[in-house]
Amino acid sequence: MLRLTWRNLLARKVRLLMSTLAIVLGIGFLAGVMTFSTGLNATFDNIVKGSTSDGLVRPAGDIQGANAGVGTTQVITPEDVEALDALPEVEDAVGSVDGIGSFLLGEDGKLVGGQGAPTLAFNYAPTENMAGEQILELTAGGWPSEPGEITLDTSSAERGSYAVGDEVTMIVPSVGETRRTFTLVGTADFNGGGTAGATLVLLDTAEAQEIFLDGQDAFTSVALTAADGVSQAELAAAADAVVPEGFAGVTGDEVVEETQDQIGQFLDVISIFLTTFAVIAIVVGAFIIFNTFSILVSQRVRESALLRALGASKRQVTRSVLIEAFLMSVVGATLGLLLGLGLSRALAGLFRTFGLDIAGEVLTLTPFTIAAGYVTGILVTMVAAFVPARRAAKVPPVAAMRDDLVVQEKGMGRRLLLGSIALVVGVALAAAGLTGAPGTDAIWIGAGAVIWVITTAVLAPVLGKPVLLACRSVFGRVFGTAGRLAGENALRNPRRTGATASALMIGLAVVSAVGVLASSLSATNDKVVDDAFRSDFLVQMPTFQGFPAQYGDRMEDVDGVDLVSRQQGTPVSVEVDGRSDQSFAAGVDPAYFEIYDLTIVEGTEEITGRQALLSEGRAADLGARPGDTIDVSFPGGETIPVEVVGVFEDSPTTGGITVPLSVLEDAGIKRSDSSLSITVEDGADRAAVKQDLEDVVEELPILSVQDKVEFKELISGQVNQLLYVIYGLLALAVIIAVIGIVNTLGLSVLERTREIGLLRAVGLSRRRLRTMITLESVAIALLGAVLGMVLGLVIGVVLRQSLKDDLTELSLPLDNLLVFLVVAVIFGVLAAIVPAIRASRMKVLDAIATE
Amino acid sequence: MTEHTLGEATQGVAASAHDLVKTYGKGEAEVRALDGVTIDLMQGEFTAVMGPSGSGKSTLMHCLAALDTPTSGEAVVDGTSLGKLKDKDLTTLRRERVGFVFQSFNLVPTLTAEENILLPLNLAGRKPDRAWFDQVVDAVGLRPRLGHRPSEMSGGQQQRVACARALVSQPRIVFADEPTGNLDSTSSAEVLGFLRRSVDEFGQTVVMVTHDPVAASYTDRVVFLADGRIVDELRNPDRDQILEKMVGLQDAAAAKAAG
Ligand SMILES: Nc1ncnc2c1ncn2[C@@H]1O[C@H](COP(=O)(O)OP(=O)(O)OP(=O)(O)O)[C@@H](O)[C@H]1O
Ligand SMILES: [Mg+2]
């Protein structure tokens, strides 16, 4: 039996290769994602560990502003550093100036690092990490030793096209000139390797103090190295005892853990996101494997019957098919793992160009990845091959003697019944989600959607009939007999056509559902912007980071400008019921209230001094009403009690906790702006004012001056960017589905050798034969696309409904759907190329002679 | 369609072979399926090709019907030499000037009987001559079956549909390779009767390969092949004459195999 299996595999190598390709791609994607995530984690781990000292003295409190790009005015003096250095537990204490709000420009004047990772600026002082190595290592040149000198990380220097000795331009938040030039004296990297995409700027200490601390001889934090035999905990405790108020000593381990938590959350999201698409690809692959085996089995009916007639048991026949599947899956998974490794390296290469350096040695197949790859590959293939294998065994021995080789396929009755039940279950789940069953609505709906997808796949032979009938009549009308025949061929084996189309259907269902959400998101944003955008211009960074307050000052002086409202955001925490609730506070100036109309639901909108307005949502979270006082903790550890004076209807123009700018100042937050809202005087030339405003921020091009239309475009641009990433990731699933079409067509062509020969004999030309096969392929692709898009629309609309609080507008991306349809047709045409050429190469005679 | 009382001398040549040679394989394994066949197939004649299995009957038909290319020699259909034609022209020639009936698998399973019959015309983009179509359909007696698919018809009915298809485009010549090979005697008689009538009533030219002396007795002329050569010929044969010749040929073949 084994030998027979082996022979079968070899005899059908091309067909099997194609379905193996489905496994290879699916597993390849999965392994690639896993390897890449592991590598990414390891890279960040190395950097975090390599750049953290035994202990750290930093501003107290649980919100570390530096992580959010918010600076504080709290400082620690050189005397404090000396006191720390003198402690017996401390071998070395190094004062550090961590600069917030500076930007490195490349030689072309553009921001280095684009809009991604932040610019980390600090003074250079040799410091040891937890492993006793230097935190920073030079890769060229030297360290900055006097004002005007600068050292950059290797990758940023490269991306900015700077070489040692060049003039380097930076935007700094110091008083006066914001633009400064330095001489590049060297390049360096974190000991852990790379900077993970961040831009690293090292300055001379005095200059760093001048720029970031207004010239005070002070530091923002102190790195500690423990004396021999002193534990991190002892070190931190000893330091904590002597540091000035507002500062705290923490262990290096704590800092590492905090950072890992933060990065880990972010990396987890990425990895889950990518894995989702790998799973979709694998599911699509499973369909193709199922389909390939179904066709192979039906083509082997006679052989199976002969085996049965010769005395093979049902189980032996089943097993022979399953062993075939097993061998195939092992080969597929092996190749997939190798592909995954290559894929992760390629991804790493791509990230390297963005400055995220992932070392090759961390990109290896871990035992877990290998196990996951094999288990998934083998399991999916075996499960997909099981039903066809059973069907092979059910062939009665007598079939060997019969001439007509058609497997009697069971009626669609059972399928319809099961499908309808599943459909009802899916609807029930979605309805449960919409009507507020416990847990997240989207999960209920998601479960319903998965059931729908499966149902549609099962019912595709039935549901797809109208589409195929339409194809037949249109093709027949446009392409004559060849078109008519193509339509008939697509219809003749509904299961096969349905299963092939289902693979494509899955991809398109996801694409369309995501499309509905994205388009609704854009529409909602447009509406929100229409309602809330009251100023003439808005000035902010695409990342909503803070920028030097000088720009706002200069804009106030621009001719024709009426009002400039300044807003500064910061993360805060508020104590509620004994636990601290992370939130976001916006400091606003009085002009804010002149430009924007908050809808006050309770209290007043007049705030002065230590008073706050809460959004309805925040107020509900905090259980606070006008008259209550809430304790707001700011980065740097300062906690300020503020009195709630009013509650407003949620608004995108300000934070959930809105306070006067002075509160942030009191809390020791370094002044910078997160956004400026600007109105122009009546009768002023808007275009001219805009030009003047743009001139103010010319040196920092990513800080943009936008009017309403541009702001809408910016937001929908961001939505679309994400959408395109998702489409890109789904492309793999679609490609696998197209491989499925190629496979099915190839098998069908082989199966219809005689028929094709006959058609050729009675006068079908090669060209029209190719047309016929291409049209059949297009019919399958269209079927998949139509089913997928209809299903995706339904899922998208239901999901939108469940998210209606956030997505207030529903918008259907009809123009996109049209594009998908065209793309499906193109894919159909592409999928048919090889089978069509094969068919047209068949010699008429061979075809006639084939049994 | 009735005024073709043509004598042999005045008949044109519908198709002809000149010194056709077809070999398969090389060297030791070389098989000469056709070994210099020269024959003229006359218009309006019903010709049978007979011979032992492997004597090259099918090969001859395929070469004449533009389905296969000979190794050497010339095949001419309706005055056109096939040797120089490209695939496209061969396709057109098959579609417009040649009709086929194979032993089995003659019909496209997805099409109805009527669609199968009209397939060559549809492929050519030609409008069927309705009167002619009706005549052919009535002649094969298939009117009630026109809407049926092949799977819903008996073997004999299927072969008659195939015959109708071969005739409906009014080709110069119809080739039939063992058209009754899979049929019982009643069905065979139906099909052969129809082919005979198409010759008598419509002046069609038909060439048919058969092993069955009864089938061959429907024809005007029987050509005997052995080892890729024409070895004998009968005109207006009857069953016994044919049987006699066949036995002779088979004995010769058996003797050759033994010796
Ligand atoms: N494709 C091929 N490759 C090799 N040899 C072939 C091929 N086709 C036919 N032959 C050989 O050519 C010879 C003639 O074959 P052909 O099919 O014409 O015989 P036939 O007279 O039609 O026989 P039958 O009555 O059995 O149908 C045979 O010896 C056959 O083995
Ligand atoms: Mg033959």
Say what the alpha-carbon torsion angle B145, B146, B151, B154 is, to the nearest 10 degrees.
Answer: 40
| Range scoring the smallest mean pLDDT among A345-354, A456-465, A550-559, B43-52 | A345-354
Report in angstroms the alpha-carbon separations of A812 from A719, A723, A791: 15, 14, 13
Three-class SS state of B198:
helix
- Yes or no: say if B18 and B72 are a contact pair by the CB < 8 Å rule: no
Angle in degrees, CA A732, A736, A739, rounded to 5? 140
Q: Does residue A740 lie within any of the structural domains?
A: yes
B20, B49, B50, B58: residue to mutate for ligand 1 pocket, most atoms within 8 A of CB: B58
pLDDT tens track for A129-155: 888 888 888 888 889 988 889 999 888
B59, B104, B180, B227: residue to mutate for ligand 1 pocket, most atoms within 8 A of CB: B59
- Closest Cβ–Cβ partner in A481, A492, A844 for B122: A481
- Closest Cβ–Cβ partner in B67, B106, B108 for A844: B67
Report the distance separating Cα A330 and Cα A320, nearest Å: 16
**Is a pLDDT exceeding 80 seen at residue A752?**
yes
pLDDT average, residue stretch A759-767: 86
Residues in chain B: 259
Work out the pLDDT band at B7, boundaries 50, 70, 90. very low
Work out the pLDDT band at B8, boundaries 50, 70, 90. very low
What's the ipTM? 0.80
- Chain A positions touching B91 (Cβ under 8 A) are 760, 763-766
pLDDT average, residue stretch B177-200: 87
Last residue of a domain, one of A684, A706, A728: A706
- What integer pLDDT is reported at residue A755 of this predicted model? 85
For residue B67, which ligand has an atom nearest its CA?
1
pLDDT average, residue stretch A354-369: 77
- What integer pLDDT is reported at residue A282 of this predicted model? 85
Chain A interface residues facing chain B, Cβ-Cβ under 8 Å? 480-482, 485, 488-489, 491-492, 754-755, 758-766, 768, 844-845, 848
Name the closest-CA residue to atom 12, ligand 1.
B33
Report the distance separating Cα B133 and Cα A428, nearest Å: 58
pLDDT average, residue stretch A515-536: 87
Report in angstroms the alpha-carbon separations of B112 from A573, B108, B148: 77, 8, 5
Q: Are residues A734 and A719 in the same domain?
A: yes
Q: Chain-centre distance of CA A111, in angstroms?
A: 23
Q: Does residue A413 lie within any of the structural domains?
A: no
- What integer pLDDT is reported at residue A776 of this predicted model? 93
**Is a pLDDT exceeding 90 seen at residue A718?**
no
Helix (H) or strand (E) holding A149: strand A149-153
- Ligand 1 interacting residues, C-beta cut-off 6 A: B 24-25, 31, 33, 51, 53-59
**Is a pLDDT exceeding 80 seen at residue A313?**
no
Question: Angle between the A252-299 and A314-353 helix axes, to the nearest 10 degrees?
Answer: 140
Last residue of a domain, one of A673, A706, A739: A706
- Chain B positions touching A759 (Cβ under 8 A) are 108, 119
Q: Are residues A119 and A208 in the same domain?
A: yes
Q: Are residues A530 and A542 in the same domain?
A: no
Question: Which residues, by Cβ under 5 Å, contact ligand 2, an ion?
Answer: B 58
Chain B interface residues facing chain A, Cβ-Cβ under 8 Å? 62, 65, 67-68, 87-88, 91-92, 94-96, 100, 102, 105-111, 119-120, 122-125, 165
**Is a pLDDT exceeding 90 seen at residue A561?**
no
**Is a pLDDT exceeding 80 seen at residue A241?**
yes
Last residue of a domain, one of A661, A679, A706: A706
Residue type, B225: L
Residue appearing with tokens 């199966």: A751
Select from A173, A200, A199, A241 the least CA-distant residue to A669.
Answer: A173
- What integer pLDDT is reported at residue A534 of this predicted model? 82
Report the distance separating Cα B52 and Cα B226, nearest Å: 7
Report in angstroms the alpha-carbon separations of A12 from A292, A328, A386, A391, A761: 11, 12, 19, 19, 27
Q: What is the number of domains present in chain A?
A: 5
**Is a pLDDT exceeding 50 seen at residue A577?**
yes
Please give the mean pLDDT across all residues of chain A: 83
Question: Angle between the A2-11 and A314-353 helix axes, to the nearest 10 degrees?
Answer: 50
Residue B98 main-chain phi, psi, to 5 deg: -130, 145
Q: Are residues A117 and A162 in the same domain?
A: yes
Q: Does residue A414 lie within any of the structural domains?
A: no
pLDDT tens track for A414-434: 777 877 887 788 777 777 766
pLDDT over 90 percentage in chain A = 13
Question: A173, exposed or middle or buried, with CB in 10 Å at 0-12, 13-18, 19+?
Answer: buried
Angle in degrees, CA B220, B225, B230, rounded to 5? 85
Report the distance separating Cα A191 and Cα A49, nearest Å: 9
Q: Are residues A130 and A232 in the same domain?
A: yes
Q: Are residues A105 and A203 in the same domain?
A: yes
Residue A538 main-chain phi, psi, to 5 deg: -125, 135
pLDDT average, residue stretch A178-201: 81
**Is a pLDDT exceeding 90 seen at residue B221?**
yes
Q: What is the 3-state secondary structure (H, E, C) of A698-764?
A: CCCCCCEEECHHHHHHHHHHHHHHHHHHHHHHHHHHHHHHHHHHHHHHHHHHHHCHHHHHHHHHCCC
* CB count in 10 Å sphere of residue A773: 30
- What integer pLDDT is reported at residue A87 of this predicted model? 87
**In angstroms, what separates the C-alpha of B241 from chain A's closest C-alpha?**
32
Q: Are residues A669 and A768 in the same domain?
A: no
**Is a pLDDT exceeding 80 seen at residue B180?**
yes
Q: Does residue A415 lie within any of the structural domains?
A: no
Q: Does residue A238 lie within any of the structural domains?
A: yes
- What integer pLDDT is reported at residue A401 of this predicted model? 53
Which atom of ligand 1 has the smallest separation from the CA of B57?
21
pTM over 0.90: no
- What integer pLDDT is reported at residue A9 of this predicted model? 63
pLDDT tens track for A659-690: 999 898 888 888 888 889 999 888 888 889 98
Select from A546, A621, A582 the least CA-distant residue to A63.
Answer: A582
pLDDT tens track for A477-495: 998 888 988 998 888 888 8
Which of the two residues, A342 and A115, has the higher pLDDT score? A342
Q: Are residues A657 and A725 in the same domain?
A: no
- Chain A positions touching B125 (Cβ under 8 A) are 480
- What integer pLDDT is reported at residue A789 of this predicted model? 93
Report the distance separating Cα A525 and Cα A543, nearest Å: 17
Say what the alpha-carbon torsion angle A247, A249, A255, A257 is, to the nearest 10 degrees.
Answer: -120
B21, B24, B223: residue to mutate for ligand 1 pocket, most atoms within 8 A of CB: B24
Report the distance separating Cα A42 and Cα A31, nearest Å: 16
- What integer pLDDT is reported at residue A441 of this predicted model? 67
Domain span at residue A444 reads 421-452
Residue A145 main-chain phi, psi, to 5 deg: -125, -5
Question: Angle between the A413-434 and A766-802 helix axes, to the nearest 10 degrees?
Answer: 30
Work out the pLDDT band at B35, boundaries 50, 70, 90. very high
* CB count in 10 Å sphere of residue A156: 24
Q: Does residue A632 lie within any of the structural domains?
A: yes
Residue type, B127: K
- How many contacts does A have with B, using Cβ atoms within 8 A? 65
- Yes or no: say if A416 and A423 are a contact pair by the CB < 8 Å rule: no
Domains identified in chain B and CATH numbers:
13-106+162-258 (3.40.50.300)
Residues 6+ apart with CB under 8 A from A543: A115
Work out the pLDDT band at A650, boundaries 50, 70, 90. confident
- Yes or no: say if A168 and A182 are a contact pair by the CB < 8 Å rule: yes
Q: Are residues A620 and A717 in the same domain?
A: no
Q: Are residues A98 and A243 in the same domain?
A: yes
**Is a pLDDT exceeding 60 seen at residue A459?**
yes
Contact B102 A848 (CB under 8 A): yes
pLDDT tens track for A787-840: 999 999 998 988 888 888 778 888 888 888 899 999 999 999 999 998 898 888
Q: Are residues A445 and A474 in the same domain?
A: no
Q: Does residue A806 lie within any of the structural domains?
A: yes
Three-class SS state of A598:
coil
Would you state the structure tokens that stand for residue A791, as one six-digit string?
Answer: 């299903």
- What integer pLDDT is reported at residue A847 of this predicted model? 60
pLDDT over 70 percentage in chain B = 95
Strongest mean pLDDT among A276-280, A452-456, A721-725, B210-214: B210-214
- What integer pLDDT is reported at residue A408 of this predicted model? 47
**Is a pLDDT exceeding 60 seen at residue A514?**
yes
Q: Are residues A468 and A381 in the same domain?
A: no
Helix (H) or strand (E) holding A42: helix A13-50
- Report how far apart the first and last C-alpha atoms of chain B are (Å, whole number): 52
Q: Does residue A409 lie within any of the structural domains?
A: no
- What integer pLDDT is reported at residue A10 of this predicted model? 66
Question: A831, exposed or middle or buried, with CB in 10 Å at 0-12, 13-18, 19+?
Answer: buried
**Is a pLDDT exceeding 90 seen at residue B174?**
yes
Which of the two residues, A828 and A324, has the higher pLDDT score? A828
- Chain B positions touching A842 (Cβ under 8 A) are none
